């Protein structure tokens, strides 16, 4: 649990972060979005004290984050940045071992952890461990960057536009990997991005920042339905709203009784995928099947259209 209490950061006269308060629940993904210069990165960097606040406090699991030296705090909090920031003169294995080495873990424990993480990120430990970062592709470097951030098993992982430098295909894969890893470790993730698509895909809760203040802090559905200000509405993109609403819900929720012909769609797919499949195949309805292959009913164009409409 991260409790941010009226935190402010001023550079001279301008407040980059202006009296922000928010509580981040454990084991969730919170995405902070905003335009450039909105203070989102500064807010995140105050959690691990890469930036010292001008006033206000941040409690991590009830303890003030200024109760221990900054470098010790940062060893307990994972940190992944855009462009990965891997140390070029160290091998992949040494990079991942950075924090455990600083913490003085035993060699065998470090080696086991490096191996575990590389396997988890689908990199063969024997092949990739001894390589240098410049010998990897962009997507691989990014995965090693996240693996390094997770090496000391932190409860909290801070990510500053971690996927910004990746091409769209690799980015989608990296996002899905992150969701899987969050499930695996139960890490509390705070992620900063300016990509709304990414925010809606990953977030349990989204915080929208503008000019140093939090404009809205809510679950994605809530934000779509009730944008707090025009700024939030613009950021979401008015034209995208119905599709974003559908992309949050699963097909299972939209299933109705009845039969339909043709290729079925899995109940766990998003309603947006279902709409896309209906439109592309030119049909009115699709059968829905569960994980075991059993028919659960059908999903119809009309039903989805109702769900995509602004809730009353």
Partner 1 sequence: MKRLLPNLLRLAALLVLIAFLVQPALFEPLLKPLVQANAPAVYNQGSLLSLTLSHLATVFAATLAATIVAVGLAILVTRPIGAEFLPLSRSLVNIGQTFPPVAVLALAVPAVGFGEKPTLIALFLYGLLPIFENAMTGLSTLPPAITEAARGTGMTAWQRLTRVELPLALPVILAGIRLSVVISLATATIGSTVAAKTLGEVIIAGLQSNNLAFVLQGGLVVAVLAVLIYDTFSALERVLSRRAGRI
Among 30, 42, 82, 247, binds partner 1 (CB under 8 A): 82
Does residue 81 touch partner 1 according to CB under 8 A? yes
Map residues 106-135 to x or -, x wherever contact with partner 1 holds by CB under 8 A. --------------------------xxx-
Give a three-class secondary structure readout of the chain. Answer: CEEEEEEEEEECCEEEEEEEEEEECCCCEEEEEECCCCCHHHHHHHHCCCCCCCEEEEEECCEECCCCCHHHHHHHEEEEECCCCCCCCCCHHHHHCHHHHHCCCCHHHHHHHHHHHHHHCCCCHHHHCCCCHHHCCHHHHHHHHHHHHHCCCCCEEEEECCCCCCCHHHHHHHHHHHHHHHHHHCCEEEEEECCHHHHHHHCCEEEEEECCEEEEEECHHHHHHCCCCHHHHHHHCHHHHHHHHHHHCEHHHHCECCCCCCCCEECCCEHHHHHHHHHHHCCCEEEEECCCCCEEEEEEHHHHHHHHCCCC
Does residue 65 touch partner 1 according to CB under 8 A? no
- Torsion sign over Cα 254, 258, 262, 263: positive
Does residue 98 touch partner 1 according to CB under 8 A? yes
Does residue 60 touch partner 1 according to CB under 8 A? no
- Is the CB of 56 or the CB of 83 nearer to partner 1? 83
- Of the chain, the end-to-end C-alpha distance in Å amounts to 34
**Site residues (CB under 8 A) for partner 1, limited to 145-204:** 145, 148
Among 12, 62, 88, 311, binds partner 1 (CB under 8 A): 88
Does residue 83 touch partner 1 according to CB under 8 A? yes
Does residue 50 touch partner 1 according to CB under 8 A? yes
Taking alpha carbons only, the member of 19, 49, 43 closest to residue 31 is 43
Among 38, 42, 48, 188, binds partner 1 (CB under 8 A): 48
Residues in the chain: 312
- Is the CB of 11 or the CB of 87 nearer to partner 1? 87
Taking alpha carbons only, the member of 278, 265, 224 closest to residue 248 is 224
Does residue 310 touch partner 1 according to CB under 8 A? no
Among 75, 113, 171, 205, binds partner 1 (CB under 8 A): 75
Among 79, 121, 163, 231, binds partner 1 (CB under 8 A): 79
Does residue 71 touch partner 1 according to CB under 8 A? yes
The interface region with partner 1, picked from 98-106, 120-128, 222-230, 258-266 by CB under 8 A, is 98-106
**Shortest distance, CB of residue 102 to partner 1, whole angstroms?**
6
Any bridge partners for residue 275, and if so which? none
Does residue 68 touch partner 1 according to CB under 8 A? no
Does residue 87 touch partner 1 according to CB under 8 A? yes
Among 24, 33, 93, 99, binds partner 1 (CB under 8 A): 99
Does residue 9 touch partner 1 according to CB under 8 A? no
Does residue 74 touch partner 1 according to CB under 8 A? yes
Question: Footprint of partner 1 on this chain (CB under 8 A)?
Answer: 48, 50, 71-76, 79, 81-89, 98-99, 102, 132-134, 145, 148
């Amino acid at each position: 649990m991260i409790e941010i209490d009226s935190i402010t950061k001023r550079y001279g006269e301008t407040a980059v972060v202006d009296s922000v308060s928010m509580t981040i629940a454990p084991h969730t993904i919170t995405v902070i979005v905003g335009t450039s210069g909105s203070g989102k990165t500064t807010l995140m960097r105050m959690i691990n004290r890469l930036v010292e606040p001008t006033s206000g406090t941040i409690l991590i699991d009830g303890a003030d984050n200024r109760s221990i030296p900054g470098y010790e705090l940062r060893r307990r909090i994972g940190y992944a940045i855009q462009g990965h920031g891997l140390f070029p003169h160290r091998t992949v294995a040494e990079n991942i071992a950075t924090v455990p080495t600083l913490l003085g873990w035993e060699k065998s424990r470090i080696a086991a952890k490096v191996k575990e993480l590389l396997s988890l990120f689908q990199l063969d430990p024997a092949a990739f461990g001894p390589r240098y970062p410049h010998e990897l592709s962009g997507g691989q470097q990014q995965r090693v960057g996240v693996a390094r951030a997770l090496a000391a098993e932190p409860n909290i992982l801070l990510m500053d536009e971690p996927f910004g430098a990746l091409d769209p295909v690799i980015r989608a894969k990296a996002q899905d990997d992150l969701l899987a890893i969050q499930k695996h470790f139960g890490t509390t993730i705070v992620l900063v991005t300016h990509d709304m698509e990414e925010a809606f895909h990953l977030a349990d809760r989204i915080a929208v920042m503008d000019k140093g203040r939090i404009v809205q802090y809510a679950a994605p559905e809530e934000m779509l339905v009730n944008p707090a200000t025009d700024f939030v509405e613009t950021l979401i993109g008015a034209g995208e709203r119905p599709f974003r609403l559908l992309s949050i819900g699963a097909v299972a929720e939209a299933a109705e009784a009845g039969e339909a012909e043709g290729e079925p769609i899995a109940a766990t797919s998003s309603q947006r995928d279902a709409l896309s499949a209906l439109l592309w195949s030119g049909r009115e309805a699709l059968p829905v099947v569960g994980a075991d292959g059993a028919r659960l009913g059908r999903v119809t164009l009309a039903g989805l259209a109702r769900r995509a409409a602004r809730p009353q």
